[in-house]
Amino acid sequence: MAMPTSSTPQPPYSFGAPWPELNEGLSYADAVPSIHPAPTLIGFYSTEYKSSAPLEGWLRRIRNGQITIDGQVVTDPETVLRAGSKVVYHRLPWKEPPAPYLLEVLYEDDHMVAINKPSGLQVLPGGIFQQRTVLQQLRWNTWKGIPVSRRCGEAHPVPVHRLGRGTSGILLCAKTKQAKTGLAKLFAVGTSAIEEKRKYSQKLDKDWRISKFYRALVTGLLEDDEVIIKQPIGVMQYPGVAKGLYVATSSGKPALSKVSVVERDVQEKRTLVQVEIHSGRPHQIRIHLAFIGHPLFGDPLYDIGGHPKSVESELVDGSFAEDGGYNKPTNPVPGDCGYFLHAHRVILFHPSTDEVVEITAPLPSVLQTNSKELNRKEIPKEGLQCVAGSSS
């Protein structure tokens, strides 16, 4: 790794640019398939993308000049499409909901950077958040003073895993394409091991190339000091989530979480827990804790059993949104915040050097205990000893 210069910022430090009032909009391109009889423009969009907007919404978008056919704006909804034509829907720029933009760097080298993601910031583009994301801030940052040697490959700053929008804490990002591949393999090891039903071990060794520890606040008082949850996680249809909602289901994919009690608040009937995960299913911690009867405190979506609190689709009103699409349902969606979950500590074998790296993100006040000693002791002593002796 190149030696830092005096002008090179050293972790911890923060970076980030304020969000513009409007994003740049989006363009969605399609090639018209060979269909007989040939479809009309409105027929194509109201059929292929009926989950994006109602018929009236697509009519508005077409008449507003937001659709092009082979590069030409077309405003007649009844225009007949030819097979092979390129149709593009241009979504107008919009103001995304408020989101933090400053990112704290916890660890950095030529290959990767670990940031402390704030709650309320989405990692990758999706839904109404297309610009206000971690990915965009990584792209905007020039990384001045942080040299990337040629052997590391082309500069390519990108997150290598996800945290929920309401989840804070450590997010690992690759600075090169080579590092992205290496880090992705680390995350894949744990998940594949769970799928192969290997014997669970709380120690980090050559089979467990990365271990992630979260701090969470849950409802109710856990009776056992330690619980291992092996509930599979799958997908169900859910209003407002086009690809479906992840939930606890026997037909899902294997998942494994180890929950340890950190502190019980008898008066408030809440429990601080540490959660260690090796598999990486979406919303795994939220689902698993809800499955055992202790949903995250403040979670607007998941209820006891690991399922949503409501599956009824209710729109704000009978009209459609300003851009022609559907209004947001009143029922909660995965991106809603309000819960307390923090990616507190990560231990991994570096994807390029194979050295052990340990990264810690400071705990938010709500997730701290009344004992500083408890806040500091997050990993079993034997686990740390195993890590220290496994650098190959």
Is it the case that residue 54 has pLDDT exceeding 50? Answer: yes
d(CA 160, CA 187): 9
299, with CB counted inside 10 A (0-12, 13-18, 19+), is buried
Q: What is the mean pLDDT of residues 290-311?
A: 95
In whole angstroms, give the CA distance from residue 81 to residue 111.
48
Other CB atoms within a 10 A radius of the CB of residue 289 amount to 31
Which residues on adjacent β-strands are paired with residue 28? 89
Mean pLDDT of 182-199: 68
Instruction: Answer whether 335's CB lies under 8 Å from 299's CB.
Output: no
Residue 66: what residue type? Q
> Nearest-CA neighbor of 171 among 108, 100, 229, 216?
108
193's CB contacts (< 8 A; 6+ apart) are 207, 208, 278
**Interatomic CA distance for residues 155 and 346, integer angstroms:** 24
Tokens of 86: 């390129």
pLDDT tens digits, one per residue of 28-40: 999 998 876 789 9
Q: Is the pLDDT of residue 10 over 90?
A: no
- From CA 119, how far away is CA 214, in angstroms rounded? 14
Residue 44 has pLDDT above 70, yes or no: yes
Q: Is the pLDDT of residue 324 over 50?
A: yes
Q: Which amino acid makes up residue 180?
A: K
In terms of DSSP H, where are the helices of the chain? 41-48, 55-63, 134-140, 177-195, 284-291, 372-376, 381-388
Distance CA 350, CA 348 (A): 6
Q: Write the pLDDT tens digit of every residue in 115-132.
A: 999 999 999 998 889 999
Residues 6+ apart with CB under 8 A from 19: 96, 99, 101, 131, 132
Q: Which residues are paired to 189 by β-bridges? A: none
The answer to whether the beta carbons of residues 305 and 291 sit under 8 Å apart is: yes
Across the range 82-104, mean pLDDT stands at 95
CB atoms within 10 A of CB 115: 26
Torsion 184-186-190-195 (CA) sign = positive
Closest to 347 (Cα-Cα) out of 202, 250, 222: 202
In the numeric block, which tokens belong to residue 155?
């500069």
**For the whole model, what pTM was predicted?**
0.84
As a whole number of angstroms, the distance between CA 313 and CA 320 comes to 14
pLDDT band at 50 (very low <50, low <70, confident <90, very high): confident
Q: Do 256 and 280 form a contact (C-beta atoms < 8 A)?
A: no
pLDDT digits (tens, 9 = 90+) for 229-239: 999 999 999 98
CA–CA distance from 47 to each of 52, 56, 169 (Å)?
Answer: 10, 13, 41
What is the band of 192 on the pLDDT scale with cuts at 50, 70, 90? low
Read off the pLDDT of residues 145-166 as tens digits, 9 standing for 90 and up.
444 444 455 566 899 999 999 9
